[in-house]
Amino acid sequence: MPQNLTLNVNGQAHRISVDDPKMPLLYALRDDLGLGNPRFGCGLGQCGACTVHVDGQAIRSCTIPVSLVANREITTLSGLGTAEKPHPLQTAWIAEQVNQCGYCINGWIMTGAELLARNPHPAEQEVRDALSGLICRCGTHNAAVKAVLRASKA
């Protein structure tokens, strides 16, 4: 029997019906709510492409059941900032020209934003440690670190 859940995503409440409460949050965000980010990467929580914030904490949405985040505050990359008022990390990302293909950007920015919320002025090694669990096949790791450090000075 389907279960009705409320997902609070990017400041808006959305009612969804799920057949399996263990369905990954990622599927609800992409399939039920039509969000283009987060992205499906590995499906195992190892690459970070699916990262979102739940109550301010960066989590891998491909491994967390949607039923565990019902009625909690979920923020995706599109809810982090706006075109008129981007998050400082989004501005720094552009200034440092981090992206190549851009597929992994979701995980890097969402993880970096959580770090900056916890520690507004991290040392370079703290940034590297926070971002160490993310994968970018284009090799933009060093540029991503520079962007987080730039945002910490904004």
Cα-Cα-Cα-Cα torsion 14, 73, 68, 120, nearest 10 degrees, comes to: 150
Domain boundary among 19, 53, 78: 78
CB atoms within 10 A of CB 22: 10
Q: What CATH number did the domain enclosing 108 receive? A: 1.10.150.120
Residues 92 and 128 in one domain: yes
Q: What's the domain count of the chain?
A: 2
Residue 73 and residue 50 in one domain: yes
Quote the pTM value.
Answer: 0.94
Q: Is residue 101 part of a domain?
A: yes
Q: Which domain holds residue 134?
A: 88-152
Cα torsion for 5, 16, 67, 115, to the nearest 10°?
A: -110
pLDDT digits (tens, 9 = 90+) for 8-55: 999 999 999 999 999 999 999 999 999 999 999 999 999 999 999 999
pLDDT tens digits along 3-14: 999 999 999 999
Do 7 and 69 fall into the same domain?
yes
CATH of the domain at 27: 3.10.20.30
